[in-house]
Amino acid sequence: MKTFEYTPVTDVRSAVGACTEGAVFLAGGTNLVDLMKLGVATPDVLVDINRLPLRDVTELPGGGLRIGAGVRNSDLAAHPVVRRNFPVLSEALLNGASGQLRNMATTGGNLLQRTRCRYFTDMTKACNKRDPGSGCPARDGDHRNLAILGASEHCVATHPSDMAVALAALDAVVLITGPDGDREVPVTELHRLPGDTPHLDTVLRQGELITAVEVPFAEIARVSTYRKARDRASYAFAVGSVAAALEVGDGVVRDVRLAFGAVAHKPWRAYDAERALRGRPATRESFLAAADVELAAAVPLRDNAFKVTLIRNMVASTLEGLAS
């Protein structure tokens, strides 16, 4: 592991000021430390933000929540308001990693974790995300669990977060503080698609720190769930996942929220499927047809075309369960 400096901070402004070029923030470290051990991440400075006052979950007027960036995943999953008003978020968190990791992982860090593509984490292989311009061997190599939506010739990596998929479906907003002040970014716009700059994961600029995530209250969120397909029963990243919320009246879809995981470089909000479903009968046929509308843009590779069928069927079964 490369030698680095360690800088603990106790307030947000000090953290932002310390995170200059070559520095990164350290919270739970469940992803960053692994990447440092592999030589993928080689920061000059670790700015430890664990002492910042960012570990509260606050109820907002109107029923929404402000979730501090330092809130641990296990605490957020168990929060009574999250379980009551946003079950999709609690379920997504409990489907991620292991109990030990959830006790360390933070809200901000979960959003910013990097891809688990094996070419990205293997320093003996080329990877445009790690070394721009070196190539993407995954396209012709091992890509079974990589992207079918929004990919490019330069990168077919997927974002690994379960929590981020739920937050995308809930219209959550990320609060950011940086050298130029404060700003807000919807979770759906936080992560980039790869295009020709796959090494840029998010829209965050150097020194910007996620301080909180705000989740607005919506009645539909109470009827929500998260479904995850994976290669083993626990402690595995998704092969495909669906976050869904549904409102049905008189057998007709009044409103719906859908987001997919493990299919793109970012949590994939299924806006086209949502538009296709509103006002339609709440039937399996309608759910499948809406999934087909969203998945029409899929461009699978040799070994991951099964994800199209997988997500299609997961959408239908998940919405059927909510409708009943």
Q: Whole domain around residue 236: which residue ranges?
A: 220-323
- Answer whether residue 277 is part of any domain: yes
- Answer whether residue 146 is part of any domain: no
| 299 touches 308 (CB < 8 A) | no
pLDDT tens over the chain, length 324 residues: 789 999 999 999 999 999 999 999 999 999 999 999 999 999 999 999 999 999 999 999 999 999 999 999 999 999 999 999 999 999 999 999 999 999 999 999 999 999 999 999 999 999 999 999 999 999 999 999 999 999 999 999 999 999 999 999 999 999 999 999 999 999 999 999 999 999 999 999 999 999 999 999 999 999 999 999 999 988 899 999 999 999 999 999 999 999 999 999 999 999 999 999 999 999 999 999 999 999 999 999 999 999 999 999 999 999 999 999
| 117 touches 160 (CB < 8 A) | no
Q: Locate all alpha helices (DSSP H) within the chain, ordered by sequence.
A: 12-18, 32-38, 73-78, 80-85, 87-94, 99-104, 107-112, 118-121, 163-169, 187-190, 271-277, 284-295, 306-323
Residue 284 belongs to domain with CATH number? 3.30.390.50
**What is the tally of structural domains in the chain?**
1
- Answer whether residue 141 is part of any domain: no
- Answer whether residue 207 is part of any domain: no
Task: Establish how many alpha carbons lie within 13 A of residue 267's alpha carbon, considering only the half-sphere containing its beta carbon.
Answer: 28
pLDDT at 292: 98
pLDDT at 235: 85
| 123 touches 38 (CB < 8 A) | yes
- Answer whether residue 315 is part of any domain: yes
Map tokens 């999250």 to a residue: 82
- Rounded (5°) CA angle 204-168-288: 140
pLDDT at 139: 97
- Answer whether residue 249 is part of any domain: yes
> What tokens does 251 get?
């057998």
Length of the chain: 324
Separation CA 313–CA 320 (nearest Å):
11
Separation CA 75–CA 105 (nearest Å):
10
- Answer whether residue 108 is part of any domain: no
pTM more than 0.95: yes
Longest dimension (CA), the chain: 64
User: Phi and psi (nearest 5°) for 103?
Assistant: -70, -20
Map tokens 């445009």 to a residue: 128
- Answer whether residue 101 is part of any domain: no
| 62 touches 216 (CB < 8 A) | yes
pLDDT at 2: 87
pLDDT at 74: 98
